[in-house]
Structure formats: structure tokens, C-alpha cells
Amino acid sequence: MSIKEKVITVKVPERNLTWIKNNYRKSKQGVNSLFEYGGIDIREVHAIADLLYHLDEAFNIEENL
């Protein structure tokens, strides 16, 4: 069975996309250290929280629940 793929175009505010692209690595590092080492730095926690905030703002996730 093959998986069908669709290409979609999403319009998001440029400032959100720029922020996500520039700060993704910090958030990913926080998640990795949490699962690999069992601990996380406060800066990494803030990076994850900020990433979630910008994703929600860009895609209106909570409004669509």
C-alpha cells in the first residue's frame, strides 16, 4: 500500500515564519536534551514555549479546536 502525498500551500505571517526558522534549532536542542539526558536548560524551555506560541499564532491552532 502506498502513501498518497498532497502538496499544500499555507500562508502565514512572514514574521512568524522567520522567527520559527531562526529559533527552531534551539527548540530542537531542548527536546533532544530532555529525552537524551533527562534535563533541560531554562533557555531551552523558553525556546520550546516560544516556538509553540509562534506556531499557534501562525496557524490559529487553538481557534480551530
Identity of the amino acid at 62: E
What are the extents of the domains in the chain?
14-64
pLDDT digits (tens, 9 = 90+) for 47-59: 889 888 888 888 8
Average pLDDT, the chain: 85
> For the stretch 20-42, what's the b/e string if a residue is b when 16 or more beta carbons lie within 10 angstroms of its beta carbon?
beebeebbebbeeeeeeeeebee
Using one digit for the tens of pLDDT, what is the confidence trace for 28-48? Answer: 888 888 888 888 888 888 888
Residues 50 and 46: their CA atoms lie apart, in Å, by 6
47, 18, 28, 3 alpha-carbon torsion, rounded to 10°: 140
